[in-house]
Structures are given as structure tokens and as C-alpha cells.
Amino acid sequence: MRTAVVVGAGVAGLAAAGALARGGWQVTLLEAEDRVRADRTALVLWPNGVRALHSLGLGDGLEAIATPLRDRGVRRPDGHRIVQPRALTGDRAPVVVHREDLHDALIAGLGDRVEIRTGVRVTRAEPGERPSVSDGRFTYAADLVVAADGIDSAVRRRVAPEATVVSSGCAAWRAVIPWYRAPQLPDDALGGEVLGAGYRFVAASLGDPGASGGAPRGGIYWIATAAGAARPEPPATQLALLRRWLASWPSPVGELLGATGPEDLIQQDVRELRPLPRSYGFPGGDGGVVLIGDAAHAMPHHLGQGACLAFEDAATLSVLTATAKPGEQLRTAVESYSRLRLPRATTIVRQTRRMSAVLGARGRLALRARDAALGAITPRLLGSAASAAAQWRPPV
């Protein structure tokens, strides 16, 4: 029986554990928290993420929970439109999903070959003769160790210490306003973004209020980004700050912030890996260690590619290990995984950093230059990212 240990039960770890189990592996899934759960926000899945989930056998479940994302262009805080809406159709169209709905779909796909152990905070990893991880009390060894333990990955610190966690220079706030509290907005109010001096606001619809009937996981999803560090104040104070900072911004910013409660708000200190790990696969023993998700390529959220790349990682690993036997075949699969994933992640991270530079413009001259060029720069960057997303296919 082929065995795997997956460290971390976020979307990357759940996707990888389920994929390996469906391929005949016996999987132990380790989670540091006391239970496996998702936060109450949402995420955008671009076509590469959608395609990866279909490759993982989760496409039917995704179609039941996903809402197409409408692009309404980009405006300045004074309401002036600097990027016109784009028509995203077919295999270039992104979707929005509630994280709890996606989490449920991933949990349902685990099957009976996955043993979940919570309250296990991995602190050490050994990729040597028998790949293993340990929390200081117990050691978990297997043919394959999958590090999906996020940006602060203890496994990555052992196998790729050169990758350093740094601040991206901004913080983000996310919330989902359920339909029963959502403001009444015109049909064309959602799906666009407003871009100011160090600030950004994006909003999207999660389903149809008429169809969902006020279901708790439907509603309006928004994300606000501000230059600077995360705020130490309680959520109510953070929300008051957002309302003050964005008080003069055009609709629907004020309406959505006004309908948001402190209990809805989730803050994120945006961080990234610089440099990226030198490799994503480390052969050892009869298999080795691989890095997936934020443990491999944590990046700012500006292009919405974090979860998408994580699902690509899981889909690629599933294909490469489908028939690999422990020993030379599995070690080769680990090497092949890195050879395929590292260039792909490097390209997307580079595009995200370019967008970070555009979004982080501050000062009168910098803003004037940005606004003058944004109509050309942003579509080109987004078009390049969308093209890369649309072109990805799981390995054969």
C-alpha cells in the first residue's frame, strides 16, 4: 500500500489528500488546528483553477456552487473610469465561490482512505531515508510527504530554507454580506473595482438573491486592500477605519461597507515568499517531499491566482503519482513535479509582483503616471495572466 502524509488541511491540502486517496494511496492528513474548517469569505477561481478541479474529479460539485464573475472595469475614487469592462466568456471566464461551499466539496471528495488528525502542529521534517514529519510528540513517516502547511510552512523551512517570508507592503480585508443584509444595488454595480492611492476595492455577487432566497452562503463578497501593515485594533475599529478611508469613493463601496458588520470582517496581513524555493520536489527514501500551495509560492492576492495554483499543484501531483510505485518511479515523479511546477509558479508570481507595483503607486506624480498608463498596463497584465491561466492543462 502506497502511503502519504499531507501536512495542512487548507484547500491545497484537502485537494491533494483527496486526489491521492482516489488514486489508491493511504493518506494521513495532519491539521494544526483543533478542527478542519474554512473562513467565511469567498475566492475567485480563474479558468486554470476550474480546470484543475475538473481534473481532480470535483467539477460537478463546483458547478453547483460557482457564480460567474462579471468584469465592470476599473474606476478612480472620483468615479472616472480608467479601464473599460472586458467580456470574459468561455474558458477565460472566472467564477466566485464561497470558501465554506468549496471546503464542503473538498471534504466530500476525501473518501475513506484519508485519516484526518487535528491538533498536530508539525515542527520538523526529514526528507531522508524515510520521509517523515514530527510535532515533537509523534513522528509520521510515509512514502510521500506533501507540505501544504501554508506560508509559514515548517516543512519548507527544512527542505528549502532559502525561501524567506516577507511583507507585501499591504493588508487586506474580506467579507461576505448575506443577502438578507445586502443593500439594494443596480445590476451593473458589482464585478468591477475602484483603485486609489494605495487603496483598492473589489466586489462580486455570490449567486442570485432571487434564487438563493437568502441562503446564508449567498450574498455579496468584497475585498479591500490598503498599503501598510495589518491593523492591531479590534474588527469594529478596523471597519470604522475602512469607512473613513473610503468615505468619498463611488457606489457601491459606501453601501457595502455600511452593510458590513464587525463579525463579517476578516483581516489578512499580505505576505509572500522572496525568493521562491529552489525546488518544489525533494526525492528521498522511496519517494520524497513536495511543496504545494502557499508553502510553495505564497504571493499577493492581486491576480487571484493563489488557490488556482494550489489546485494546479494537486492536479499535477495526482497525475504524476497515479501509477508510480515507491522507489525509483516515485522519486522520479517527485523530480518531475518540481520540473513542471516551478517555472509555472515563477511566471505567475512575476506577473503578480508587476501588478503589485501598479497597485502600490502613491504620491501625486506616481498616481498621475499610473492613471495615464493604467488603461494600457492593466489590460495587458490581466490579459497576460488570463492567457496563462487559460492555457494551462494537467500533464498527461
Residue 394 pLDDT level (bands cut at 50, 70, 90): confident
Q: Which amino acid is at 132?
A: S
**C-alpha span between 299 and 304 (Å, rounded):** 10
Which is it for strands 144-147 and 287-291: parallel, antiparallel or unpaired?
parallel
What is the pTM for the complete model shown? Answer: 0.93
**Cα–Cα nearest to 327, from 283, 288, 286:** 286
Largest Cα span, the chain: 63
Residue range 186-194: mean pLDDT, rounded: 85
> In sequence order, what DSSP letters do the residues of 42-97 get, joined into one string?
EEEE-HHHHHHHHHTT-HHHHHHH-EEPPP--EE-TTS-EEE------GGG--EEE
Residue range 2-29: mean pLDDT, rounded: 97
Residue range 3-24: mean pLDDT, rounded: 97
Task: Give the pLDDT confidence score for residue 355 in this predicted structure.
Answer: 75
**C-alpha span between 19 and 56 (Å, rounded):** 6
Residue 357 CB partners (closer than 8 Å, separation 6+):
none
Quick one: CA dihedral 223, 224, 228, 229, positive or negative?
Answer: negative
Residue 363 pLDDT level (bands cut at 50, 70, 90): low
**C-alpha span between 269 and 8 (Å, rounded):** 20
Residue 381 pLDDT level (bands cut at 50, 70, 90): low
| Secondary structure class of 213 (helix, strand, coil) | coil
Q: Within a 10 A sphere around the Cβ of 71, how many other Cβ atoms? A: 18
Task: Give the pLDDT confidence score for residue 325 in this predicted structure.
Answer: 97
Task: Give the pLDDT confidence score for residue 386 in this predicted structure.
Answer: 60
- 174: β partners: 223, 266
Q: If residue 394 lies in a helix (H) or strand (E), which one and from where to where? A: none
The tens digit of pLDDT for each residue in 208-266 reads 776 544 445 789 999 999 988 999 999 999 999 999 999 999 999 999 999 999 999 99
Task: Give the pLDDT confidence score for residue 207 in this predicted structure.
Answer: 85
